[in-house]
Chains A and B, each alone.
Chain A
Amino acid sequence: MEPANVYAYKLVNRKEYFSPGHRACQGCAEALGVRLVGKALGRDTIVASATGCMEVTSTPLPFTNWNVPWIHVAFENAAAVASGAEAGMKVLMRKGRVPKKRINFLAMAGDGGTSDIGVQALSGALERGHDFIYVCYDNEAYMNTGIQRSSATPYGASTTTSPAGKVVPGQITWKKNMPEIAAAHDIPYVATACPSYPLDLIGKVKKGARIKGPAYIHILSACPTGWRLPPELAIKVGRLAVETGVFPLYEVENGRYRLSIDTGKLRPVEDYLKIQGRFRHLDEGMKEKIQERVIEEYERLRKKIKMTEGD
């Protein structure tokens, strides 16, 4: 849907479910992602939010930014709470205590709450097949507590617990491929999205809400503070992540892979790395290594798309 990017923005839901006035940093792409997800899901939504930036910045007592029912839960169980809410509402509707209606259940967490701490609750909820959407806002480290590394931190990135120095060149492990882990549960819908492509993101969230059963959406959210990036480049860096192939946008519908934004020839990964301070220390050898890995993963994705198309 991304080519229709001129007038289609005027047709997006005008109501705000994540209102302005929150305390996220300047240029926070995660806040933008939350806002777009809210617009896509509409008012009949119940949100279970794990600990993370969006909990801290949006609900400082006694204020709230949420215009929908919202519950803050512990780091590890956003998916469990959302599945409980879904099961509870189902029973209440069956017993006639609540009028029958289509309600969206949204569990949201950061990359730490998804791929490190919350992965067992998420895996359980996906396996049980609850009708809910899980959205992971991936800013590639524990940004809220001061940029500690997580399993979603990419190779080479300097964080406060994987600092780049003379001996260790920042993060020494590769990023955990969370969308693939979710897709391995054989759930109806898995997608990756980025707030730099808003129409694509809204379309994917809407699709996930419409599909019966669990949906997992992985949203790359640039974090200017943690990525050591000027705030005005937060949108650009998301586009570069997609154009260089670092974070390809694809969806897996019933096991069928599809590339949603095909940018043709990939840009050199250097374009993405050089504007971020967290990759400032990388030498040519490491950049080469990252480039090779990106191309390898991209080719693997293309193979999956080819393998599953048309059947």
Chain B
Amino acid sequence: MITFTIDGFEVEGEKGQNVLQVALDNGFDIPHLCYHEALKPYGACRLCQVEVTKGGRTRLTTSCNYPVLEGISVQTNTEKTTRARKMVIELLLARCPGVPIIKDLAKEYSVGEPRFKVDNDDCILCGLCERVCREVVGVDAITFLGRGSDRKVGPPLEINPKTCIACGACVYICPTNCIKLEETESERTIVRWERTLPMKKCKACGRSFAPWFQLEYFGKITDGIPADFWDKCVDCR
């Protein structure tokens, strides 16, 4: 157990945890958009910035990728952190003025009209979809493309992602809901990646339940499951 303080309260964390995780577990309110407990921290959104005092030196840093250390003191709500977060929110608001989660944050931190050129994007480049595809799903179908102001997330070379199994994990995790999934009786489409896969019908009840390609992929990565297991939907298995 590693003991340190957050806003003057003594908290305990385990080795390998990060400051944000411990703070959230103990009920401290730190805004964050690119952090998810199931994924490796990435530090993209810069909203979770806190002031960390270590060995007499205080600095502003992101708490999601700062490891817990013995004896450090963390301040989650100071003038400096508020200023830093306000700046980040203003930039995000200029990039994505129509996204509800950003608008809520702007209201909470009383950020008004952004002073920058207002764009109309819906992706905040948090990288959650890209990380979930790599770390949880393991198919690595999408990635970051380009640099600087041209940076975006998409399938490599911007052509139809051949490995995408249309599982929808990226749709689920997206904080701004900019990745949409559409499903009809015959096919499923992840709209943003332009990936359309035909659906398989259940042998027992006749409903379409999953894309053919996805079930073939599961057949490949699992051992000892009879092939006809994938012919039926979850209700009929």
Contacts and interface: CB of A to CB of B under 8 A. Distances in A.
Interface of A: 1, 3-8, 10-11, 13-15, 43-44, 101-102, 199, 236, 239-240, 243, 263-264
B137 A7 contact: yes
Contacts of A3: 168, 181, 183, 188
A11 B27 contact: no
Contacts of B172: 1, 4, 8, 11, 199
Contact of A11 (B29, B38, B188, B214): B38
Nearest to B214: A6
Given A236-B235, A264-B207, A7 B37 contact: no
Contact of B136 (A10, A43, A263): A10
Interface string B203-221: 0000100100010000000
B27 A43 contact: yes
Interface of B: 25, 27, 29, 36-38, 132, 136-137, 167-169, 171-173, 181, 183, 185, 188, 207, 210, 214, 234-235
B201 to A, nearest CB: 12
Nearest to B235: A239
B171 A4 contact: yes
Contacts of B188: 3
A11 B169 contact: yes
Given A7-B169, A8-B167, 5 more contacts: A4-B169, A6-B168, A8-B168, A199-B172, A243-B235
Chain B contact residues, majority secondary structure: mixed
A116 B25 CA distance: 38
A40 to B, nearest CB: 13
Contacts of B36: 11
A143 to B, nearest CB: 25
A6 B207 contact: no
Contacts of A264: 185, 207
A194 B207 CA distance: 20
A3 B199 CA distance: 12
A10 B29 contact: no
B214 A101 contact: no
Counting from the closest, the 9 A-B pairs by CB-CB distance are A4-B168, A8-B172, A7-B169, A4-B172, A6-B167, A7-B137, A7-B167, A11-B38, A10-B136
Contacts of A199: 172
A8 B137 CA distance: 9
Contacts of B25: 15, 43
A236 B173 CA distance: 27
Contacts of A4: 167-169, 171-172, 181
A199 B169 CA distance: 11
Contacts of B207: 263-264
Contacts of A43: 25, 27
Nearest to A1: B172
Nearest to A4: B168
User: Max chain B CB contacts within 10 Å: which of A6, A7, A14?
Assistant: A7
A239 B207 CA distance: 13
Contacts of A240: 235
